[in-house]
Amino acid sequence: MTLAYVGIGANLGDARATVRQAMAALEGLPHTRVTALSSLYRSAPVDATGPDFINAVAALDTALPPSELLAALHRLEDASGRERPFRNAPRTLDLDLLRHGDAVSQTTALTLPHPRMLQRAFVLRPLAEIAPDQVTPAQLAAVADQVVERL
């Protein structure tokens, strides 16, 4: 089993309900068990438009390799009605594979660790809540100017 972290976000429709449903849906992934879920957080879109996002982070123990886990996350997004009309478009559900154990990858389909996670308070704050060893005080300080509200 490998410890993986997934960022969860939504800013269309009933975003809170969608994020909670996604948290529950992660339990149904094959060969995967949710070990921790953060609180919900609200943040303004970063490099995007639309309403505020509701965000969270989940920790998973999984036997799925990174590419299979990512494909399963994309299926959950698709089931929620996710459309990708343009980069950073508002979305019904966004599931980002942040880390997958110690895996390092840089392909067109998947970059691990997630390439922008250290620039986003809406990822670091909930990640620090459930896995404080994954986020340093300096990393949190670097995004302290980004407004993120714990709900």
Residues with catalytic roles: 82, 91, 94, 96
Strands 41-43 and 105-106: unpaired
Q: Which residues contact 133 (CB under 8 A, 6 or more apart)?
A: none
Distance from chain centroid for Cα 149: 16
